[in-house]
Amino acid sequence: DASDIEKGTYSHFMLKEIDEQPIVMRKIINEYQNENNELKLDGDIRQAMKAADRIYIIAAGTSYHAGLVGKEFIEKLAKIPVEVHVASEFSYNMPLLSEKPLFIFISQSGETADSRAVLVKIKEMGYPALTITNVPGSTLSREADYTLHLHAGPEIAVASTKAYTAQIAVLAILAVDTANAKGIELDFDPMQELAIVANAMEVLTAQKETIEQLTRDYLATTRNAFFIGRSADYNVSLEGALKLKEISYIQAEGFAGGELKHGTIALIEEGTPVIALATQENVNYSIRGNVQEVVARGANAMVISMKGLEQDEDAFVLPHVHELLTPLVSVVPLQLLAYYAALHRDCDVDKPRNLAKSVTVE
Ligand code: G6P
């Protein structure tokens, strides 16, 4: 059928979409800069960002996880406070809002009912909204004041991969554009750094055999797994756990490295897989400490570190990218781990049980 043709030589859309990520990064670089290599964003969006005293990011699932990464960019680069909320919670339990809020809806499909419910409410309240989506004509795009397009191409696999990295890239560009508009001097060229990310993603997607072997070594028979990380790595550990849960049905949780010991470490047994990310210099020492803690209790720890921060015992070393953008590369081996874990368990990779690509009911 038609979907077989679109898959080309790939057995699954998910693997094809993982592999497309470097292309999507380059597409975003092209779409968001002009001939003079300057950022090219809608001036109205720039004004709306500049005018906001606080930004509320609203999303669900993987898009929520991209929002967590985006918060870091907007706060660190554009110096605007950001709250990230799960749409279904925000809808019925709104926090106190600031005086001049801007709402950013992140949604691959642009059709998620939980997010739309929030959009309807905040429009009634008279607040401005920007939708970041892969589908510009979608409901969330049409009903918001502004839209930023992800340019990721159709994402067919239920488990989101290239939309997540596209969302993060667009959020980085948006944060830098806002910083520029506010006259904040930055030592960060987003297009140059994203080009380095695209190359790093290519290196990673060429390492499938290594990741498949790691999947055999760590996830072959396990019923559960933990992902840990600190700061940016914590955000990615949440997404790594979600990917694994969604398609392999292995019970997985992402934790802040320092939080595991406050309860969940009780679950660590002989052989429990713990996947630790170590891409952040300022917490490299402390995440290593957390790895020691779980190893001492029998965990089978897989450390994924970044070049420059690696240690001999690390299972996998990521190419070096700018510290702000590490989520774009550290997520790739986690996507592949989930893919191979699902494949080895004969799970329906592209259409996992109980899940829908876009959830149009609240
Ligand atoms: C569904 C999908 C997830 C996705 C979430 C949000 O639950 O299965 O993969 O992250 O919806 O979708 P959206 O289209 O709003 O990003």
Nearest Cα residue to atom 3 of ligand 1: 61
Taking CB atoms and a 6 Å cutoff, what residues make up the pocket around ligand 1? 60-63, 107-109, 112, 115, 158, 160, 355-359
pLDDT of 267-287, one tens digit each?
Answer: 999 999 999 999 999 999 999
Percentage with pLDDT > 70 across the chain? 99
Q: What is the pLDDT of residue 121?
A: 98
The pLDDT of 340-351, averaged and rounded, is 95
What pLDDT does residue 8 have?
86
Ligand 1 centroid to 47 CA: how many Å? 29
State the catalytic residues: 357
pLDDT for 201 beyond 60: yes
C-alpha dihedral sign at 202, 206, 212, 217: negative
**What pLDDT is recorded for position 7?**
87
In tens, the pLDDT along 301-317 reads: 999 999 999 999 999 99
Task: Choose among 115, 147, 129, 134: nearest CA to 359.
Answer: 115
Nearest CA to ligand 1 atom 11: 358
Say how far apart CA 283 and CA 338 lie, in whole Å.
Answer: 25
Ligand 1 atom 15, closest CA: 107
What is the rounded CA–CA span in Å between residue 275 and residue 82?
A: 28
pLDDT value for 358: 87
pLDDT, residue 145, reads 98
Q: How far is CA 272 from CA 251, 252, 315, 347, in A?
A: 11, 11, 16, 21
pLDDT of residue 1: 47
* Contact predicate 282/105, CB 8 Å: no
Among 280, 306, 304, 281, which residue's Cα sits nearest to residue 291?
A: 304
Q: Among all chains, which residue has been given the structure tokens 């004509």? A: 137
CA distance 93 to 62: 21
Return the ligand 1 atom nearest residue 356 CA.
Answer: 8
Distances (CA, A) of 170 to 125, 208, 262, 322: 27, 26, 35, 16
Task: Tell me the per-residue pLDDT of 147-183, one tens digit each, with 9 for 90 and over.
Answer: 999 999 999 999 999 999 999 999 999 999 999 999 9
Cα 166 from Cα 132, distance rounded (Å): 10
Torsion sign (Cα): 191, 195, 196, 197: positive
Rounded distance between C-alpha atoms, residue 241 and residue 267, angstroms:
16
Ligand 1 centroid to 61 CA: how many Å? 5
Distance 59 CA to ligand 1 centre (A): 9
The region of weakest confidence among 127-131, 306-310, 317-321, 355-359 is 355-359
Q: Report the chain's mean pLDDT, rounded to a whole number.
A: 96
Query: Quick one: which atom of ligand 1 is closest to the CA of 159?
Result: 9
pLDDT tens, residue by residue, 229-256: 999 999 999 999 999 999 999 999 999 9
**2 pLDDT higher than 80:** no
Alpha carbon of 191 to ligand 1 centroid (Å) = 27
% pLDDT > 90, the chain: 94
Question: Angle at CA 201, nearest 5°, toward 196 and 204?
Answer: 130
Q: Residue 3 above 70 pLDDT?
A: no
Say whether pLDDT at 342 is over 50: yes
For 217-228, what is the mean pLDDT? 96
Q: How far apart are CA 329 and CA 198, in angstroms?
A: 9
Spatial CA neighbour of 70 closest among 39, 107, 34? 107
Of the candidates 334, 257, 338, the one whose C-alpha atom is nearest the C-alpha of residue 299 is 257
Are 280 and 323 contacting, i.e. CB atoms less than 8 angstroms apart? yes
Give phi and psi for 328, each to the nearest 5.
-65, -30
3-state secondary structure of 255: strand
How large is the greatest C-alpha to C-alpha distance in the chain, in angstroms? 57
What is the mean pLDDT of the segment spanning 31-56? 95
